[in-house]
Structure 1
């Protein structure tokens, strides 16, 4: 499927069943991953999971991250607060491909309550198989990085270490 790179995966209580399906898919495909929780429907706060997954990607411990909650909305909002993260909420194959090709997304978010397991695995596969196209998209990513730097105020992840 893809080169053997570690993928960070995490969910809150509302996304743990879909996360399990994605993990099984990864195991079938031989994709290496690290699970950052959770495994049960016991309530947890999605920002806590989004933070550890996003930070692991920002630090380079994992090349990509996948986050699952009920809708994917909370996870994408929280993950995008981490400097260096470009998280994308995808509901279909087209947006999964565009997120990688145009936006160089390094975190994918999904919603268990809105996306079935079969489609979710297709989205994940498309997202992982797609590559950043560069070209005209480079200057747009540079502008995103400029915005991030403007509001980072010296507290970026790399500067805290």
Structure 2
């Protein structure tokens, strides 16, 4: 599985830790930056990650910023992206099962690293339920993008 990752300056260290974990587990990580703690604009990095997911270069994406809020808002502005900001494993499981989320957002200043690692594992290992009601709701979300 290929996973695209992107972050702003506020989550650089978490990206490094999560990227290392994923690579050690055999995942291919496409690093979309940023690569320092120097201040940057998170929408640029949300877009870079989303493009990898939409082009199918990556199966899923993970975006990180200080709270996860800004970068998730930016990612969700891109047609075809369903980005879920998760602070626990239940949210990660349900956003995959019910929303078929293709990008996970995390916040370095709001969620501990070990919890983030658990969230990442849950997100990437949980399949979409393919439930009819969920497919119908996702279609309605897609209609909103038109």
TM-score computed with the length of structure 2 as normaliser:
0.97
Indicate which of 126, 140, 143 corresponds to 1:143: 140
- Which residue does 1:111 correspond to in 2? 107
- For residue 119 of structure 1, report the CA deviation from its aligned partner: 0.7
| Equivalent pairs, count | 145
Indicate which of 11, 14, 27 corresponds to 2:7: 11
- Which residue does 2:36 correspond to in 1? 40
| SS state at 1:67 partner | strand
Runs of 4+ off more than 4 Å = none
Please identify, of 9-18 and 23-32, the stretch whose mean Cα deviation from structure 2 is larger.
23-32
Indicate which of 19, 22, 25 corresponds to 1:26: 22
CA distance in 1, matches of 2:85, 2:59: 17
- For residue 62 of structure 1, report the CA deviation from its aligned partner: 1.0
Deviations 1:31-89 (A, max 9, x none): 11110111211000000000111111112111111000000000110001111000000
CA distance in 2, matches of 1:30, 1:40: 24
CA distance in 2, matches of 1:97, 1:30: 21
- Which residue does 2:87 correspond to in 1? 91
CA distance in 1, matches of 2:101, 2:9: 24
- Which residue does 1:133 correspond to in 2? 129
**Structure 2 portions without partners, runs of 5+:** none
- Which residue does 1:81 correspond to in 2? 77
TM-score computed with the length of structure 1 as normaliser:
0.88
